[in-house]
A and B are shown apart, each in its own frame.
Chain A
């Protein structure tokens, strides 16, 4: 196995920088899905800086790994991580949400590195199934990752795809669920209970594991074990905290798509800078 490009500490530092950027660019755009972007950010960091065999030079390569962001509203995390991984200059992020900008408020293929236009929920997994099936048909070895929200699991299309993926034995398919337990209306268990997702997918014929969605080492470890079982698609539940990294945003429903005030942004950046100061490389 090749030496990782980054150490856990280096990736942790990246995550903190990404968090600052997510907040700053949401503030500049005056729009964005703050809480969800912060909950999935560490996962995206590890995917693009460690797991996926795709880089700015291979974004059209037929054998590249694919990442499809089904929970498209957390696009700010994706845009920031893609910039950090060199897909385009960070200065491009200034255009997020601006008039005539390509940086739309949900993932768009106009942005280098984005595989599919998403935003309507329940779309990523079916598309990922087709993409993974194509690899199987052609004997290719790329993997297809898709990230879903836990609230999104109420969408019926996910369960159509879950049945299909197991039937087709798509062990090159990975569904990661950003399990932050909150959706716009409230707790997922109160809206429509999405507990025991692992059991549900296991019953559908998937292999299943969980990880701490904010622990770089755990994320690396779990996502490097794909397929979890031969001939089965893999479900990875990432236990996360909505608004992770900013104390007053964490686990607060109101930060689903709230834009920080000037004072809140200053305070949030200060908290993240303090966290950065404690990292020992």
Chain B
């Protein structure tokens, strides 16, 4: 296993934009649809180079998704890009009806997701998005952990026949090591092997889990790290395999404790009569504390230190 990490210092949403530019250069049917969001979506370069392939709807998320549905219905390869807090709330009926129910195969891209906006507060946080979207039929939901997974998921959704939602953050990230270099929507990625504890995480929290696992390894605690980049469809086979293999289970996510990766994992374990020590790390159901992204996450132990602490607790 390779443990060396590459510091790229690039946000996943920048990688998304870079990859989309490459796709759009070679295919005039690739469209970005934005709601006054090309700046935060890192799509200015896209717009400058290919102005005919970016559609600006203004600050109008419902129309963003409706227009995306119409474009997708005619064969355009559409990426509708908007802050996840607005996209997954204001336009949820359009996602449900116009995209998913009508099976117009656009890809929704929720940017600055989770608590990326930090001190801007709850209006700008999206810790509900995965819960809401999981309950909608006919959409695959991907929360890439790093630049590699982001690049891969953008390529994987190119020309997709059905709807997708990609959830991205804006914090610069490094590329995690991984046991193989394959990526497939719906298949968990193994970042690190282990037997004492398995941690399922997604998005920007995977690196916290990985860093905690490195600390724990120094004490002889062998922790498996799995990037559950696809929360729907959930790779149930991988979860069951790793839960059977490891003595305890932890989930970590930048999301409400309701309806996210933790609850999905717990439900699966219960359904399969797997009873092991279990810790769910997520944002509790309360008015979220004020701070920057790392301060908020750290407050709720969604951090290297928090994961380390809870891993020690759960294993004793």
Q: Is the C-beta of A13 less than 8 angstroms from some C-beta in chain B?
A: no
Cβ of A116 < 8 Å from any Cβ of B? yes
B101 lies within 8 A of chain A by Cβ: yes
Give the chain A neighbours of B98 by CB distance below 8 A: 116, 123, 126-127
Contact-size category for B: 20 to 34
Contact B103 A109 (CB under 8 A): yes
Most B C-beta atoms less than 10 A away, residue of A125, A133, A134:
A134
How many A-B residue pairs lie within 8 Å, measured between CB atoms?
A: 95
The SS class assigned to the B binding surface is helix
B91, chain A: closest CB distance, angstroms: 9
User: Contact between A120 and B60 (Cβ–Cβ < 8 Å)?
Assistant: no
Residues of B within 8 A of A133 (CB): 55, 67, 70-71
Complex CA distance for A25 and B76, rounded to whole angstroms: 38
Of all chain B residues, which has the CB nearest A117?
A: B102
Q: A43-51, A156-164, A187-195: which one contacts chain B?
A: A156-164
Least Cβ–Cβ distance between B176 and chain A, in angstroms: 37
Q: How far is the CA of A120 from the CA of B65 in the complex (A)?
A: 14
Q: Per DSSP, are chain A's interface residues mostly helix, strand or loop, or mixed?
A: helix
Q: How far is the CA of A132 from the CA of B103 in the complex (A)?
A: 18
Contact for B94 among A128, A144, A157, CB less than 8 A: A157
Q: Does B62 contact A (CB under 8 A)?
A: yes
A115 at the interface (CB under 8 A from B): yes
Are A134 and B102 touching (Cβ within 8 A)? Answer: no
Contact status A130-B58, CB under 8 Å: no
Is B73 engaged at the interface, CB distance under 8 Å to the other chain? Answer: yes
Which residues on the B side are within 8 Å of A4 (C-beta)? none
The answer to whether A123 touches B66, judged by C-beta atoms less than 8 angstroms apart, is yes
- Asked whether, in the complex, the Cβ of B52 is within 8 Å of the Cβ of A137, the reply is yes
The answer on a CB contact under 8 Å between A132 and B97 is: no
| A62 contacts partner chain B, Cβ-Cβ < 8 Å | yes
Q: With A and B bound together, what is the CA distance between A160 and B82 in angstroms?
A: 16
Q: Are A126 and B62 in contact (CB under 8 A)?
A: yes
Known A-B contacts A123-B94, A123-B98, A127-B98; the reply to A164 vs B63 at CB < 8 A is: yes
Which of these, B58, B60, B71, B103, contacts A134 with CB under 8 Å? B71
A122 at interface by CB-CB < 8 Å: yes
The reply on A119 being an interface residue by CB < 8 A is yes
Nearest CB of A to B99, in Å: 10
Tell me whether B49 is interfacial, beta carbon within 8 Å. no
Q: Please state if A117 and B70 are interface contacts (CB–CB under 8 Å).
A: no
For the complex of A and B, 10 pairs with smallest distance between CB atoms: A130-B70, A126-B66, A160-B63, A130-B67, A160-B60, A131-B70, A134-B74, A157-B62, A117-B102, A130-B71
Contact surface of A with B, Cβ cutoff 8 Å: 62, 109, 115-120, 122-123, 125-135, 137-138, 144, 156-157, 160-161, 163-164
Residues of B participating in the A interface, judged by any CB pair closer than 8 Å: 52, 55, 57-58, 60, 62-63, 65-76, 93-94, 97-98, 101-104
Offer 6 A-B interface pairs, CB within 8 angstroms, sorted by A: A127-B66, A129-B63, A129-B70, A131-B70, A138-B74, A157-B66
